Amino acid sequence: MINAKDIEKVYDTGAIQVAALRGVSLKVERGESVAIIGPSGSGKSTLMNILGCLDRPTSGTYSLDGREVSTLSDDELAEIRNKKIGFVFQTFNLLPRATALENVELPLVYSGVQGSVRRKRALSALEKVGLADRAHHRPNELSGGQAQRVAIARALVTEPAIILADEPTGNLDTKSGLEVMRILRELHEQGITIILVTHNPEIAAMADRFVEIRDGLIVREGNGSDILERPAGAEEGKGGAS
C-alpha cells in the first residue's frame, strides 16, 4: 500500500538548510495500522505531510497504492488526496460557516459527486460516527469530540484507502479521545489502513505497529504493544489484533 524509500526533506530557509527528514524508509501494508511517534521537531509531521501527499520529498521515492506519487503535479496530488486519503487533524479543521453535513460533503464536491448522492453518502458517514442527529449543526455548536467525529466522517466519506490522523486526540479530553480512538479502531477493523501521528505512547500503543522518529531518522520500530516499557496489563488490553 505504502512504500516510501529513502525519503529526505530539506527546507531551504534562505540562510540555512534544515533537513527535516534524512532518509526515512517505511512500508505499510493494506489494512495495517501504524503509529508514528516522536517528540516535536523530530520530523514526524513532515513525514505525515509527505505520506498524505500534501508535500513532495526532496529526494527518495514514494509509491502509494502502486503509483509513484513523489513527482506528481499539485493538481494530481490533490486528486490523490481526494480519492485515496482521509485526513483527521488535531485542530479538526472544519469549515466554521458550514454545517456538519456540508463539511462532510466537501470532499465529494471536489470529486464531482452530484448533490443528492453526495448528501446521502455524507449522512451515512455521519451515521457511522454516530452524529446523524447533528447533521445541521455548525462546528461551534459541537463539542470537541463531536467536531473530531465530524472530521472523521469527512475523512471516510470518500471511502479512502488510508486515513491519516495527526494527533487526533491532542485537543480532546480523555473520554472524547477514547471515543475518537474507538471509532478509528472500528474503521481499521473494517480494513482501512490507518496512520496515526502522535507523541502520546498510550494512543500509539493502540496501533499494530509503531515507528519512532528522532531528528529525521527512524530510531525504533516495533509492535504497538511493545511501545510502553511497562507490563502489558497497563495498556488497557488494547493492542493490535488483526
Partner 1 sequence: MRLALASLRTNKLRSALTLLGIVIGIASVIAMMSIGEGGRKLVSMELAGLGSDLIFVQPDYTAEAISGARRKSLTYEDAEAIRKWCPAVAGVSVQRVGMVTVKYGTDRYNTSATFTDEGLSTMYQGRLKEGRFLQELDVRIQRPVVILGGSLANKFFGESGAIGEKVKVNGQSFSVIGVMKEEGRTIFGENPSDMSVYLPITHSKRMTGSDEVAFIYCEARDTSQVREAMDQIKRVLAQRHGKDASFSVISSASILEVTETVARIFTVILGGIGGISLLVGGIGVMNIMLVSVTERTREVGIRKAVGAKKGDILKQFLFEAISLCLVGGAIGILLGWALAALIAKIAKWPTYVSLFSIAVAVISASFSGVVFGVYPAYKAANLDPIEALRYE
Binding site for partner 1 (CB under 8 A): 49, 52, 54-55, 74-75, 78-79, 81-83, 87, 89, 93-95, 97-98, 102, 106-107, 109-111, 154, 158
Q: Which is nearer to partner 1, 103 or 225 (CB)?
A: 103
CB of 18 to partner 1, least distance (A): 15
Q: Which is nearer to partner 1, 171 or 228 (CB)?
A: 171
How far, in Å, CA of 145 to CA of 176, rounded?
Answer: 5
CB of 167 to partner 1, least distance (A): 13
CA neighbours closer than 13 Å in the CB half-sphere of residue 109: 7
CB of 241 to partner 1, least distance (A): 30
Cell output for 220: 525504533
Q: Which is nearer to partner 1, 112 or 237 (CB)?
A: 112
Q: Which is nearer to partner 1, 67 or 182 (CB)?
A: 67
Q: Which is nearer to partner 1, 55 or 226 (CB)?
A: 55
Q: Which is nearer to partner 1, 118 or 128 (CB)?
A: 118
Q: Which is nearer to partner 1, 151 or 178 (CB)?
A: 151
Whether the Cβ atoms of residue 167 and residue 199 lie closer than 8 Å to each other: yes
CB of 107 to partner 1, least distance (A): 4
The owner of cell 451515512 is 124
- CB within 8 Å of 208: residues ≥ 6 apart: 32, 33, 34, 223, 224, 240, 242
CB of 240 to partner 1, least distance (A): 27
CB of 75 to partner 1, least distance (A): 4
How far, in Å, CA of 77 to CA of 56, rounded?
Answer: 9
CB of 71 to partner 1, least distance (A): 17
193: left (phi over 0), alpha (psi -120 to 50) or beta: beta
201 φ, ψ to 5°? -60, -30
How far, in Å, CA of 220 to CA of 54, rounded?
Answer: 25
